[in-house]
Amino acid sequence: MSELHSALNALLTRFISPIIAQGILKRALREQNLDPLTLDRIGLQAVSPRLETAVRLFMDPESAEAFRAALLDLAGAPIPLESKKLSIKTERDLTDALSETRRLCQHWRMRAISQQKVATVVSELARNIVNYTPGGTVELIPLQGHTPRVLVRATDTGNGIPNLDQILEGRYRSKTGLGKGLLGTKRLSDRFEVRSGRSGTVVEAELKL
């Protein structure tokens, strides 16, 4: 077990019984796809919200608050996760963007299903940029806080999305499947916004981690 993992276990057992502590910790780590042997501060940061929720069943509000404070103390200053801006113009940029997205999601310790969603969103939005515009960028912005999220912002210098309303309402039918990527992205996202016009388009998709 990593040192941090041992410290975390010790912290939990200050508040609840060892057996329950062990169970909570094991489950939280597994759900977040973290390995106890290599648990580091970034991992702890990622799993903290899950732990805070789990212990509420076993502690009174005051203890839960004390636990939360102690957990923050153990985690130390929040490690700022950095955004990444990817330039998208060619097909090659698309494949590079996906590799980079995957690497970042793993670095941020996202669950497998969340990684999948983010990568799919990036793939859809970047592909639209490559296929229909002269070029643009895709930004991956981690939003930390009580509900950690990732913001994917795709900006391009194209001529705007025709039939946008129809596309977003699912009424647009195209043989080539045009529009399905955008609608699919909307369905995957927790928050979705498109601003599109003659001078370009900005798509923002927020996904919970």
Q: Does 133 bind other proteins (CB under 8 A)?
A: no
From the CB of 178, what's the least distance to other proteins, in Å? 9
Amino acid at 65: E
Q: Closest by alpha carbon to 31, among 143, 104, 144, 111?
A: 111
CA 64 – CA 70 distance, rounded (Å): 10
Phi/psi-derived region of residue 160, left when phi > 0, alpha when psi is between -120 and 50, beta in every other case: left
Q: Does 185 bind other proteins (CB under 8 A)?
A: yes
CA 52 – CA 147 distance, rounded (Å): 12
Choices 23-31, 77-85, 175-183, 191-199 (CB under 8 A): range interacting with other proteins: 175-183
Out of 5, 109, 117, 153, the residue judged to bind other proteins by CB under 8 A: 117
Out of 129, 181, 203, 207, the residue judged to bind other proteins by CB under 8 A: 181
From the CB of 69, what's the least distance to other proteins, in Å? 35
Q: Does 113 bind other proteins (CB under 8 A)?
A: yes
Choices 35-43, 89-97, 141-149, 196-204 (CB under 8 A): range interacting with other proteins: 89-97
